[in-house]
Amino acid sequence: MIALRNMADLVTGAGLRLGVTGLSRAGKTVFITALVHHLTRMAKAPAAEPRRNFPVFRVHAENRLTRAWLEPQPDDSVPRFAYEDHIAALTGGGKGHEAREWPHSTRRISELRLTIEFEKTEGWRKGASSLTLDIVDYPGEWLLDLPLLEKSYAEFSQEMIDAARAPARAAQSAELLAFLSSREATAPAQEDDARKAADLFTQYLRACRNDRLALSTLPPGRFLMPGDLEGSPALTFAPLILDAQQPAATGSLAAMMERRYESYKSIVVRPFFRDHFARLDRQIVLADVLSTVNSGPAAVRDLENALAGVLGAFRTGRSTLLSTLFRPRIDRILFAATKADHLHHTSHDRLEAILRLLVARAIARAENLGADIDIIALAAVRATREALVRERGADLEAIAGVPLAGEVIDGEVFEGKSEAAIFPGELPIDPAQVFRGEGLALSESEANFRAVRFRPPLLRPAFDGKTEAMPHIRMDRALEFLLGDRLK
Ligand SMILES: Nc1nc2c(ncn2[C@@H]2O[C@H](COP(=O)(O)OP(=O)(O)OP(=O)(O)O)[C@@H](O)[C@H]2O)c(=O)[nH]1
Ligand SMILES: [Mg+2]
């Protein structure tokens, strides 16, 4: 099945499948919307005039990108990424620019196809050429499930119980652990026990995610986004405190849980792996690093664990027997810290350095990745501009934007109309400090400033009847890393 589909991919010519993932609210929808917005606006300029927009994206800078357009979504069983709705939300659509807002949260997989026409300068067939780009948006939580494929129920239980016993999770896990200690894994299976354990386990996972510490990294991902599997046995299991020496006896609670865990793998994890993950060529992993840093060192370490989990998933993808025979697998992974427009540009490199360190620590734990990795701090949609504010004779570097309706700054409640300038504070020069909680040097007001959310930017009309392009930070660098080599 996989082989056939990949053969078809091969025969239809130059195609690239780009996965876009990240934990919830990381910025996936906004990133894809901005990417499609920019690509479909790019067109060959009549004369060889210099291209100032997107200077690092070479195919465009060199005026070789002829045009790009959306195609019908080719996979009938996958929802199409609702590009038109999302771009309408960001720009205010037909309702006028006063109505502009961020797109709604999306909790499922979706996909979009673009064709990019360009002039090829390398290889044996130079001249007019095209690349089919499939963009797949999926929750990062699903990715964190992939390592389960290589884990037995006993291993899964052990890891989950160890994590639940960690001091950082003590408050959230107390009830679950108390219940599990009161039940013998070897006792006869009772549906009631299974349900109660699964409920407490789900509550615990939810508490970790909702907690201000943003402990967000534990599988199984579908427990928090069950969709139409809600209440089914495949989602009604939990880890148990097991005696490592003893295999689960027939009819015991442990045996029932084990069977359901295996069902979860075969109903949820394996199809995702086979139908989606195994077909990706490139991957961008988005993370809201700034919010994490603001939440303190425990959240930073947790994000490191999540990134190690993500890298572990890519390694699983490489080693598993299910891997595809015909195509090279993911060969480039870009890790991106999103929403960099919440900082002054003097801190963009520092944000990048923090993510670089986080990923490096995660890579040190995952061996033999076999993919090129790059790190970037970006804003897919730049909602702020930089401003110099003179205060008591000193020039201060501020960012200015229109706070969302309801945001409060220094006691003033905003209505989503007027602009405000804030001082977001600086990130530490030494990225290691964020692991220790040092050097964040945030006064209380700075911490509040960083949490301010701005409305999407107002786009001015451009000469050709359209509006100006969506402002961004370093999207051209992201595009060059993800697509550049395929557009030469
Ligand atoms: N200022 C700014 N805010 C952003 C940017 N990207 C995302 N955001 C904010 O982050 C929120 C979440 O972004 P989404 O793109 O919806 O995130 P997602 O990963 O698709 O989230 P789910 O669909 O809920 O998983 C948005 O509503 C914005 O408030 C950006 O480039 N700049
Ligand atoms: Mg989304």
Average pLDDT over residues 165-173: 88
Residue environment code for 87-107, b if the CB has 16+ CB neighbours within 10 A, otherwise e: bbbbbbeeeeeeebbbbeebe
What pLDDT, on the 0 to 100 scale, is given for residue 478? 98
| Distance in angstroms (rounded) separating the CA atoms of residues 303 and 23 | 10
- H/E stretch holding 88 reads helix 83-91
Name which residue leads in pLDDT, 474 or 372: 474
Identity of the amino acid at 356: R
Which atom of ligand 1 is nearest to 404's Cα? Answer: 29
> Is residue 103 in contact with ligand 1, taking CB distance under 6 Å?
yes
pLDDT 10s digits, 305-319:
888 888 877 776 665
Name which residue leads in pLDDT, 335 or 246: 335
Rounded distance from Cα 257 to ligand 2 centre (Å): 32
Residue environment code for 319-346, b if the CB has 16+ CB neighbours within 10 A, otherwise e: eeeeebeebebbebbbbbbbbbbbbbee
Angle value at C-alpha 474, between 473 and 478, nearest 5 degrees = 135
pLDDT-derived band at 166 (thresholds 50, 70, 90) equals: confident
What pLDDT, on the 0 to 100 scale, is given for residue 7? 45
pLDDT-derived band at 368 (thresholds 50, 70, 90) equals: low
Which atom of ligand 1 is nearest to 379's Cα? Answer: 31
Indicate the SS3 state at residue 344.
coil
* DSSP states along 31-71: HHHHHHHHHHH-B--SS-----SSTT-HHHHTT-EEEEEEE
Tell me which of 83, 284, 339 to substitute to probe ligand 1's pocket, judged by most ligand atoms within 8 Å of the beta carbon.
339
Tell me which of 20, 24, 30 to substitute to probe ligand 1's pocket, judged by most ligand atoms within 8 Å of the beta carbon.
30
Tell me the pTM: 0.90
pLDDT-derived band at 41 (thresholds 50, 70, 90) equals: very high
The length of the chain in residues reads: 488
Per-residue CA distances from 119 to 62, 63, 116, 155, 217 (Å):
10, 9, 10, 52, 43
What pLDDT, on the 0 to 100 scale, is given for residue 316? 65
Indicate the SS3 state at residue 8.
helix
First to last CA, the chain: 32
Least confident span in 37-41, 78-82, 286-290, 364-368 = 364-368
| Distance in angstroms (rounded) separating the CA atoms of residues 359 and 304 | 7
The percent of residues in the chain predicted with pLDDT above 90, rounded, is: 50
> Does residue 9 carry a pLDDT above 50?
no
Residue environment code for 273-305, b if the CB has 16+ CB neighbours within 10 A, otherwise e: bebbbbbbbbbbbbbbbbbbbbbebbbbbbbbb
| Distance in angstroms (rounded) separating the CA atoms of residues 214 and 116 | 39
What pLDDT, on the 0 to 100 scale, is given for residue 443? 62
> Does residue 131 carry a pLDDT above 70?
yes
What pLDDT, on the 0 to 100 scale, is given for residue 327? 44
pLDDT, mean over the chain: 86
Rounded distance from Cα 271 to ligand 1 centre (Å): 27
Residue nearest to atom 26 of ligand 1 (CA): 102
Which atom of ligand 1 is nearest to 401's Cα? Answer: 1
What pLDDT, on the 0 to 100 scale, is given for residue 363? 81
pLDDT 10s digits, 267-294:
999 999 888 888 899 999 999 999 888 8
> Does residue 100 carry a pLDDT above 80?
yes
> Is residue 454 in contact with ligand 1, taking CB distance under 6 Å?
yes
Least confident span in 45-59, 114-128, 222-236 = 45-59
What pLDDT, on the 0 to 100 scale, is given for residue 310? 82
> Is residue 338 in contact with ligand 1, taking CB distance under 6 Å?
yes
What pLDDT, on the 0 to 100 scale, is given for residue 4? 46
> Is residue 22 in contact with ligand 1, taking CB distance under 6 Å?
yes
pLDDT-derived band at 12 (thresholds 50, 70, 90) equals: very low
What pLDDT, on the 0 to 100 scale, is given for residue 302? 81
Q: Which residue has the tokens 């949609």?
A: 381
| Distance in angstroms (rounded) separating the CA atoms of residues 22 and 139 | 6
| Distance in angstroms (rounded) separating the CA atoms of residues 194 and 174 | 18
> Is residue 218 in contact with ligand 1, taking CB distance under 6 Å?
no
Name which residue leads in pLDDT, 484 or 3: 484
Per-residue CA distances from 41 to 35, 51, 129 (Å):
10, 13, 18
> Does residue 135 carry a pLDDT above 90?
yes
pLDDT-derived band at 2 (thresholds 50, 70, 90) equals: very low
Q: Indicate which ligand has the atom closest to the C-alpha of 102.
A: 1
pLDDT-derived band at 5 (thresholds 50, 70, 90) equals: very low
Rounded distance from Cα 30 to ligand 1 centre (Å): 6
Average pLDDT over residues 459-474: 85
Report the interhelical angle of 475-483 vs 28-41 (nearest 10°).
80
Residue nearest to atom 24 of ligand 1 (CA): 105
Which tokens is 14 given? 């130059």
pLDDT 10s digits, 247-259:
788 999 999 999 9
What pLDDT, on the 0 to 100 scale, is given for residue 312? 78
* Contact (CB, 8 A) for 50 and 56: no
Which tokens is 42 given? 């790019």
- H/E stretch holding 130 reads strand 127-137
Using CA of residue 21, residue 22, residue 24, residue 28, what is the dihedral sign?
Answer: negative
Q: Which residue has the tokens 């679950």?
A: 176
Indicate the SS3 state at residue 104.
coil
Quickly count: other Cβ atoms within 10 Å of residue 428's Cβ: 18
Q: Which of 288, 303, 295, 300 is nearest to 342 (CA)?
A: 288
Average pLDDT over residues 151-172: 91
Kindly give the residue spans of alpha helices, DSSP state H, lying in 149-230: 153-165, 170-181, 191-210
Indicate the SS3 state at residue 136.
strand
What pLDDT, on the 0 to 100 scale, is given for residue 3? 46
Least confident span in 73-82, 243-252, 402-411 = 243-252
Q: Which residue has the tokens 């992939």?
A: 146
> Is residue 431 in contact with ligand 1, taking CB distance under 6 Å?
no
- H/E stretch holding 271 reads helix 270-275
* DSSP states along 431-442: TTHHHHT-S---
> Is residue 129 in contact with ligand 1, taking CB distance under 6 Å?
no
Average pLDDT over residues 392-406: 89
| Distance in angstroms (rounded) separating the CA atoms of residues 108 and 137 | 8
Least confident span in 107-121, 250-264, 393-407 = 393-407
